[in-house]
Structure 1
């Protein structure tokens, strides 16, 4: 069994790993289902990194006193307190 290649733990490393997997699928040395599983794990890693970056940004906004730092999304329904409700 061939030893696993080491990839840098970065977005570049993730890209390199995915492109290597694509080449291996094309060469017939990796099953497509294995590449799909790998891509699924990569998606979760990227989603986690994205969440961490958004939390860091929000924490900085809170430290700066930004009043809108806690606004996550616009309200979906009106609560009847908007000045335009008159």
Structure 2
């Protein structure tokens, strides 16, 4: 079994209104016999294919509901792009 790692970058809860990026090292495995590839489960940190960590998402929802911040302001605080429809 071969193994290497990839880095997954997630927008995380801001630290003092400064964007924070969470870097998660994900182990990747490959079966030498069949060539199948699979990765370590990162669901405790974020949903699959998500750009926000679970804590970043919670922070964004709390800011939207309790602090009445705009989505653009939240995206700016998280350091992610926001484009309206």
* Length-normalised TM-score, structure 2: 0.31
Greater C-alpha radius of gyration: 1
Q: Which has the higher helix share?
A: 1
- Which is richer in strand? 2
Task: Give the TM-score normalised by the residue count of structure 1.
Answer: 0.30
Larger RCO, structure (CA 8 Å, separation 6 or more): 2
